[in-house]
């Protein structure tokens, strides 16, 4: 008999730190700057990436100290998964919270951290720009919809 993987038997709250961290698929979409309409609450993604996001690997260049460098960086928690409306539709945390399975390209399923990029789910290969190269007043010029559309038909 095969034992079920932890994400199929544990809630987000029950996961240990290693399991929790492994749910991140490395897509980098959460590290893109978002804009929120104050009146409607609508959130849009921009192609402006956090100053700590490596545009090639889609990983944080200083993950352990990211909140010291980027105070607005959000530390995702189980509660945050419920409260953050902009988590990408393919996000492992969101999928587990919704009692859905991880996609074939998630490294916990495929065994390869590159499959998220090969499948076109990540920010890799997309035209992004570092936030240090754009005035915050100009972020509106970089609004994109592709982060909402990744994984369609997956």
Full pLDDT tens readout for the chain, 154 residues: 679 999 999 999 999 999 999 999 999 999 999 999 889 989 999 999 999 999 889 999 999 999 999 999 988 999 999 999 889 889 999 999 999 999 999 999 999 999 999 999 999 999 999 999 999 999 999 999 988 887 665 5
Supply the pLDDT for residue 34.
95
- Domain that residue 23 falls in: 6-149
Residue 140 confidence (pLDDT): 96
Q: Which of 60, 5, 6, 62 is nearest to 29 (CA)?
A: 60
The answer to whether residue 154 sits within a structural domain is no
Say whether pTM exceeds 0.75: yes
**1 within a domain of the structure (yes/no):** no
Residue whose token pair is 């902009």: 86
Burial code (b: 16+ CB inside 10 Å, e: under 16) for 33-72 equals: bbeeeeeeeeebbbbbbbebbebeebebeeeeebeeebee
**Number of domains within the chain:** 1
Residue 139 gets the label, from left (phi > 0), alpha (psi -120 to 50) or beta, of: alpha
Record the tokens describing residue 36, joined without a space. Answer: 């929120």
């Amino acid at each position: 008999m095969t034992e079920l993987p932890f994400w199929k038997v544990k809630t987000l709250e029950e996961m240990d730190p290693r399991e929790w961290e492994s749910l991140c698929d490395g897509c980098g979409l959460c590290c893109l700057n978002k804009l929120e309409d104050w009146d409607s609450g609508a959130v849009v993604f921009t192609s402006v990436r956090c100053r700590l996001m490596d545009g090639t690997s889609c990983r944080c260049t200083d993950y352990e100290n990211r909140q010291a460098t980027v105070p607005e960086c959000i530390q995702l928690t189980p509660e945050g998964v419920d409260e953050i409306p902009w988590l990408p539709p393919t996000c492992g945390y969101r999928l587990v919270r919704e009692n859905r399975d991880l996609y074939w390209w998630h490294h916990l399923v495929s065994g390869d951290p590159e499959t998220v990029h090969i499948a076109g789910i990540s920010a890799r290969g997309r035209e992004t720009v570092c936030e240090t190269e754009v005035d915050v007043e100009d972020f509106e010029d970089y609004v994109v919809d592709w982060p909402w559309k990744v994984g369609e038909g997956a």
